């Protein structure tokens, strides 16, 4: 059985989680985005915005979580697994804020590969800020550019998901797999 690990990525507020939720409803194996969970845990410990206050620590926690997701996806029994963001997303965000990072981030991106990467472009009509998404829409567009550049650096051919209803977007993704 050939294992297919499929990343759904894009800047903040582009509909990634909604697509993952729709894929779960259709019975697909999916791994959720973990940054909100890390951010909420940090808030419980008195750190209001871990990514802004301690970006390297935040990124290290994300890296460990995403490596664990990758390993669990590879070990699972399903042929196709969708992931809400991949390891290169971490580097893209570090590039966005301009912070350096240790070589093990790059190494992890090279050692944990994905079959396909779908990217959701910025879409102002659906963008919303909230307690865990602090970026404005202009920042979201910059993050999108960093995501594209970072994934391409690791040799991925990105598949851009067109705007549309959630059903249309999920159908498009699935049509690119089968």
Q: Residue 133 belongs to a domain with what CATH number?
A: 3.40.50.300
How does pLDDT run across 30-61, given as a tens digit for each residue?
999 998 788 878 888 887 777 767 888 889 99
What 8-state DSSP symbol labels residue 115?
S
Which of 69, 173, 81 is CA-nearest to residue 120? 173
Contact indicator for 121, 144 with CB cutoff of 8 Å: yes
pTM as predicted: 0.91
pLDDT tens digit string along 76-108? 999 999 999 999 999 999 999 898 899 999 999
Q: What is the mean pLDDT of residues 61-66?
A: 94
Domain count, the chain: 1
Q: Are strands 80-84 and 4-10 parallel, antiparallel or unpaired?
A: parallel
Q: Which domain holds residue 81?
A: 4-175
Q: How many residues does the chain have?
A: 178
């Amino acid at each position: 059985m050939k294992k297919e690990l499929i990343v759904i990525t894009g800047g903040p507020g582009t509909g990634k989680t909604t697509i993952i939720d729709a894929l779960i409803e259709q019975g697909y194996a999916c791994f959720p985005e973990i940054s909100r969970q890390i951010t909420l845990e940090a808030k419980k410990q008195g750190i209001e915005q871990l990514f802004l206050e301690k970006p390297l620590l935040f990124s290290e926690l994300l890296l460990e979580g995403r490596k664990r997701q990758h390993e669990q996806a590879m070990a699972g029994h399903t042929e196709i697994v969708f992931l809400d963001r991949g390891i290169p997303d971490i580097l893209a965000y570090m590039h966005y804020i301009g912070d350096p990072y240790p070589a093990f981030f790059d190494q992890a991106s090279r050692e944990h590969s994905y079959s396909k990467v779908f990217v959701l472009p910025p879409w102002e009509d659906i963008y919303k800020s909230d307690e865990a998404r602090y970026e404005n829409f202009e920042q979201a567009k910059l993050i999108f550019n960093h995501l594209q550049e970072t994934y391409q650096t690791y040799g991925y051919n990105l598949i851009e998901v067109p705007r549309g209803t959630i059903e249309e977007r999920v159908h498009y993704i699935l049509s690119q797999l089968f």
